[in-house]
Amino acid sequence: MKIKKKKQLFLPKIDYQILEISTICQSRTQGKYPFIINLIVTIQIKKKIQKKKKQQKIINQKKKHQKISQILKKQQYEKQIKFYIHLYIKNMTIKTDKLIYPKQTYKFVILRHFAKAYPKSFTPLLLIYLLLFKYCRKNNQFVQRQIKINKILYIKQESKKVKNQKKQEEGEKKFII
């Protein structure tokens, strides 16, 4: 057995002002001019719809302007940050050893300062840099790692030099004999 669904009538929302106008017109004309009354009602409905559309357009334009201004602000902040980082690194005099403190740490310091200055303007990429910096700076891990890496590289270079010298000396001894 198939169950038949009842058809629902979707009536438009009644605007009571328009209803009042139409009833007044009908009472005054005693129902003689229904065509004119309908025209008046439809014109009023159209006017209301146009008003709503205009309001919606204005709201949409405001939203667009807000989005554009936010994007422009972000871009300005990013430019400022890049510019200041460039300046900092250019004018930075590194007193500590280059092996211990690479220039990148200074970049992170600057980024951290700017994060405090402009917390809302920061892009995810810059935030990632900051998080990396915070992670690396715990117990001076970053610096210690750099020292270890540099020491290993230095030891490898030294051992290569020693091996090369030994080979040369052995080669000279063979040549002499």
Structural domain contains residue 143: yes
Structural domain contains residue 102: yes
Rounded to whole angstroms, how far apart are CA atoms 26 and 73?
Answer: 59
**Contact assessment for residue 90 and residue 76, using Cβ atoms and an 8 Å cutoff:** no
pLDDT of the residue at 95: 43
Phi–psi pair at 5, nearest 5 degrees: -85, 140
Token pair listed for 150:
């540099």
Structural domain contains residue 127: yes
Q: Which domain holds residue 103?
A: 92-164
Rounded to whole angstroms, how far apart are CA atoms 64 and 102?
Answer: 44
Angle at 81 between CA 110 and CA 131, to 5 degrees: 50
Rounded to whole angstroms, how far apart are CA atoms 76 and 121?
Answer: 9
pLDDT, one tens digit per residue, over 129-163 is: 555 555 555 545 444 555 555 555 556 666 777 77
Rounded to whole angstroms, how far apart are CA atoms 107 and 89?
Answer: 7
Structural domain contains residue 23: no
Q: How far is Cα of residue 137 from the mean position of the Cα atoms in its chain? A: 26
Predicted TM-score (pTM) of this structure = 0.31
Structural domain contains residue 55: no
Q: Going residue by residue through the chain (177 aa), what tens digit of pLDDT does each one get?
A: 555 555 554 445 555 566 666 666 666 666 666 666 666 677 777 888 888 889 889 998 888 888 888 778 777 766 766 666 565 555 544 444 443 344 555 555 656 666 665 555 555 555 555 555 555 555 454 445 555 555 555 566 667 777 777 777 777 666 665
Structural domain contains residue 169: no
Structural domain contains residue 111: yes
Structural domain contains residue 57: no
* 3-class secondary-structure state, position 49: helix
Q: How many domains does the chain have?
A: 1
Q: How far is Cα of residue 41 from the mean position of the Cα atoms in its chain? A: 50
Phi–psi pair at 148, nearest 5 degrees: -60, -50
